[in-house]
């Protein structure tokens, strides 16, 4: 497993134990970007883990803006005419069976910077 595996495992176990398990100020936590290694012995002290992947239906509309939300924001900003262009540039994320999920940072940046006038 490598020279530093036991040291890394102990450090990670202690870090997650302090951050998630014994932290009196935290009721719930969400870890992202974690692979299925969460079920390995390194994380065995953590319990009540739920694996939610990009193919899961649970929370499918929570990882970005839905098309309905994006189109409503465009209308609010007076950019209704940019719907198809925004769909072309920023749509494309799929979570579960939802295929209309937009990257929040991209949409907020688009609205904030007023890029609508430049996309013709």
Domain limits, the chain: 5-43, 65-117
Which parts of 7-118 are beta strand (E)?
65-66, 91-95, 98-102
Retrieve residue 28's tokens. 């719930």
Q: Is the pTM of this model over 0.75?
A: no
Retrieve residue 117's tokens. 């006038």
Query: For every one of its 120 residues, what pLDDT tens digit does the chain have, with 9 covering 90 and above?
Result: 567 878 887 888 888 888 888 888 988 877 776 666 545 555 666 666 777 778 888 888 888 899 999 999 999 999 999 999 999 988 878 888 888 899 899 999 999 887 644 444
pLDDT of residue 21: 81
């Amino acid at each position: 497993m490598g020279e530093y595996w036991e040291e890394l495992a102990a450090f990670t176990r202690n870090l997650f134990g302090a951050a998630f398990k014994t932290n009196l100020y935290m009721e719930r936590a969400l870890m992202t970007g974690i692979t299925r290694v969460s079920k390995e012995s390194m994380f065995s002290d953590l319990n009540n883990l739920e694996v939610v992947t990009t193919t899961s239906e649970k929370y499918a509309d929570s990882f970005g803006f839905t098309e309905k939300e994006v189109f409503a924001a465009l209308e609010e900003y007076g950019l209704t005419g940019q719907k198809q262009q925004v769909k072309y540039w920023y749509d494309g994320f799929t979570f579960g069976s939802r295929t209309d999920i937009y990257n929040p940072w991209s949409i907020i940046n688009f609205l904030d910077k007023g890029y609508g006038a430049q996309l013709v």
